Amino acid sequence: MRDGMLILGASHAGVLLAATLRENGWEEPITIVGEEPSPPYQRPPLSKGLIAGEVEPEDLALRSFGFFRDAEISLELGSAAVAVDPAGREVTLSDGRRLRYGCLALATGATARPAPFEGADLDGVAVLRTLSDALMLRERIAAAGEVVIVGAGYIGLELSAGLAALGGRHVTVVDCGRRILARAASATLATFVAERHRHAGTRLILGARIARLNGAGGRVTDVELADGSRIAADLVVLAIGVRRNDHLARVAGLACDDGVLVNRAGRTSDPRIVALGDCAVRHSRFADGALVRLECVQNAQDGARAAAAGLTGKPVGMEPTPWFWSDQLGLRLQTAGLTSGVDRTVQRGSREQGRFSLWHFAGPRLRAVETVNAPAEHLVARKLLQAGCPISPAEAADTRIDLGARFLRREMALSAP
């Protein structure tokens, strides 16, 4: 058999890479190795609709079995890669099998970060990363009365929003940061979202370090904070972020930083190996060329399209505007661009009406836009960022200006031959 494309990782990045390679005319064999036994599934609903019972696992398929069969993409599910040998162009699986490759793609994602405190191994302590995590958590939630979520990032808050909607439980979110969403949202947006969570009945304890999780008879009973106070809990969910899975690449000697170093086309320091998705890090024009590692679906998808283009000799294209979204408590939150280096923010629309956007500037340049319940405005913002439009803070804040009509039409007129 010919040595084709071997893809490690069967989630958004790996599956879209395989599909796009076939669309681009790649004729060599394609094999996807996935650690989880479940067929490839969509991850975003795990912390949203799945917990709320609005969607079921069978609704989450990324592609049907028929698709993989027809596209001749082999799935090796339930097997983990344990070693990569770039010189021998070979990957070793956990069951001892060795797979040869012509090209290798690392789409190994990230894993829930281990808790930096004692007690995380108690019964009643859960994480939310995989489908099986989510299904187990859903069962636990049905029987839980006192839920403590550790971590006020997007995953923790989507989960607490789902629990608030279910009702009937005390829900507490604890975070060591002084505000929620410290890593992923502006302070202004965080304040607005925190207010909504409190209004929904969720208790937010911020600026609090966790000393340990206490238990009795092997089951968790409470969360003890560094100041000695205790929060009763029969279910504790750890939503404290992830660790990138770049271990295989490091051991194999590929250049790594905060993840596997890649160029725009996903190429690593080995010309036969690409990396994409959560495990890859690259220079971004949306962060003044700084190294950026993103953990979102858009990044996985862009990485897949760029790598597929590079591998099949098609134009890779400019780096698209990074974006992500979250749904919680009836709020559609979307961020376009990256918020690093921001020194000025203006608001557009009305916070009271629950539909507004925050336009963040670094010096004179638009850097990022956060929208609340304004998906069309989000799309406009993405295009403005993509084109590097010279929009001023005053213009961004002026709701009398139709931004799409004024700036995008002008851009199109300028770029016309």
Partner 1 sequence: MPTIIYEQPDGIRRRVDAPEGIDLMLAAKRNGVRGIEADCGGACACATCHVYVGDGFPLPEPEPEEQAMLAEVAAERLPQSRLACQITITSALDGLVLRIPARQF
Binding residues vs partner 1 (CB under 8 A): 19, 23, 42, 44-45, 59, 61-64, 66-67, 70-71, 297-298, 301, 320, 325, 327, 332, 334, 375-376, 378-380, 383, 404
Is the sign of the CA dihedral 143, 145, 149, 152 positive or negative? Answer: positive
Q: Which is nearer to partner 1, 92 or 298 (CB)?
A: 298
Distances from the Cα of 220 to the Cα of 125, 128, 131, angstroms: 7, 17, 23
Shortest distance (Å) from residue 64 CB to partner 1: 4
Those residues with Cβ within 8 angstroms of residue 125's Cβ, 6 or more apart along the chain or in another chain: 119, 213, 220, 236, 237, 238
- The amino acid sitting at 166 is L
- Cα(280)–Cα(412) distance, rounded to whole angstroms? 33
- Cα(405)–Cα(399) distance, rounded to whole angstroms? 12
Q: Which is nearer to partner 1, 67 or 117 (CB)?
A: 67
Shortest distance (Å) from residue 302 CB to partner 1: 9
Under 8 Å between Cβ of 248 and 85: no
DSSP string covering 100-135, please?
E-SEEEE---EEEPPPSSBTTTSBTEEE-SSHHHHH
Quick count: other Cβ atoms within 10 Å of Cβ 208? 18
Shortest distance (Å) from residue 51 CB to partner 1: 15
- Cα(237)–Cα(141) distance, rounded to whole angstroms? 10
Shortest distance (Å) from residue 123 CB to partner 1: 33
Q: Which is nearer to partner 1, 232 or 316 (CB)?
A: 316
Quick count: other Cβ atoms within 10 Å of Cβ 103? 20
Shortest distance (Å) from residue 285 CB to partner 1: 17
Q: Which is nearer to partner 1, 71 or 401 (CB)?
A: 71
- Cα(114)–Cα(127) distance, rounded to whole angstroms? 10
Shortest distance (Å) from residue 336 CB to partner 1: 11
Under 8 Å between Cβ of 300 and 43: no
Q: Which is nearer to partner 1, 112 or 333 (CB)?
A: 333
How are beta strands 73-77 and 30-34 bridged, if at all?
parallel
Shortest distance (Å) from residue 297 CB to partner 1: 7
- Cα(171)–Cα(19) distance, rounded to whole angstroms? 41
Residue 137 three-state SS: helix
Shortest distance (Å) from residue 204 CB to partner 1: 25
Q: Which is nearer to partner 1, 172 or 284 (CB)?
A: 284
Q: Which is nearer to partner 1, 18 or 147 (CB)?
A: 18
- The amino acid sitting at 415 is S
Q: Which is nearer to partner 1, 243 or 410 (CB)?
A: 410
